[in-house]
Structure 1
Amino acid sequence: MSTNQIKQTLSAIESELRAKIGALPEMQAKLMDQQNYSLCELIQVMTDVHLCEHPLFIQLMSLDAARCQLEIGLYGVCSDCENEIEAERLAEDPLEQRCASCSGQYRRQHRQELRLNH
């Protein structure tokens, strides 16, 4: 996938996320004040209204990470092992941050952390 195609894909994901976030009751009043929040500002607003655990917040953080990686030439590189993320994984989820191996390991560790916290 070319850089332009990746940018277009990420822009489409951003538009969809912004629409879903704008529909959240907690966000409607905040977004009416200003429509053109940058991703960083939007992340901060969602943090301020305590939506850090919301799935849309997690997607927004992944989108921000993917955009940053694209800017520095590391899009498609696993955030853990720094190997290339499989093309099929990126085609399925353009916001993917880990290769299949590291993703499985991350999920196992995260489940263990959740068990320890409860």
Structure 2
Amino acid sequence: MSTKPVITLLSDIESALRQQISAHPEIQTMLTDQHDYSLCELIEKMTQANLCDHPLFLKLMRLDAARCQLEIGLYGVCCDCEATIEAELLIADPLEQRCSNCNNQFKREHRQELRLNH
């Protein structure tokens, strides 16, 4: 699998997330300077500001995980069972971390937790 299209796609996702972050007042108040924050720095700043449950934080974490997987040659591999994640899942969500079987099991196991968060 060629990684260049995936790198481009993840970069586009990162750009979109950075635009959403820059437009979000709650997050912008913690970014006091014009520093170009890395993903890790953004994650750290949001953690320090107790924004770990914020949807943008969760997307940043998933993006960071996808980038790490790409760097070590495991992009598209399920984080639970290590099977190949179905292409249609990665097309629908390039940040997907689980195959459909593990994703369904994860959702069943965390159904109560998911209900409490919404």
Closer/same/farther in 2, CA of residues 85 and 30 from structure 1, 3 Å limit: same
Deviations 1:24-43 (A, max 9, x none): 21222333403311100000
Query: How many residues of Structure 1 are paired with residues of Structure 2 in the alignment?
Result: 116
**Greater CA drift, 71-80 or 18-27:** 18-27
Deviations 1:66-92 (A, max 9, x none): 000000000000000000000010011
2:2 equivalent in structure 1: 2
Amino acid at match of 1:67: R
- Give the distance between the partners of 2:95 and 2:115, measured in 1 at CA: 26
Q: Please tell me whether residue 63 in structure 1 is matched to residue 63 in structure 2.
A: yes
**Greater CA drift, 81-90 or 23-32:** 23-32
Gaps of 5+ in 2: none
- In the TM superposition, what are the counterparts of 1:30-45 in structure 2 within 5 Å? 30-45=30-45
Closer/same/farther in 2, CA of residues 74 and 100 from structure 1, 3 Å limit: same
Gaps of 5+ in 1: none
* TM norm structure 1: 0.91
2:20 equivalent in structure 1: 20
* TM norm structure 2: 0.91
More helix by share: 1
Give aligned-pair identity as a percent.
Answer: 66
Q: RMSD of aligned C-alpha atoms?
A: 1.7
Secondary structure, in 3 states, of the residue corresponding to 2:29? helix
- Superposition deviation, residue 115 in structure 1: 7.1
Secondary structure, in 3 states, of the residue corresponding to 2:7? helix
1:87 equivalent in structure 2: 87
- In the TM superposition, what are the counterparts of 1:38-53 in structure 2 within 5 Å? 38-53=38-53
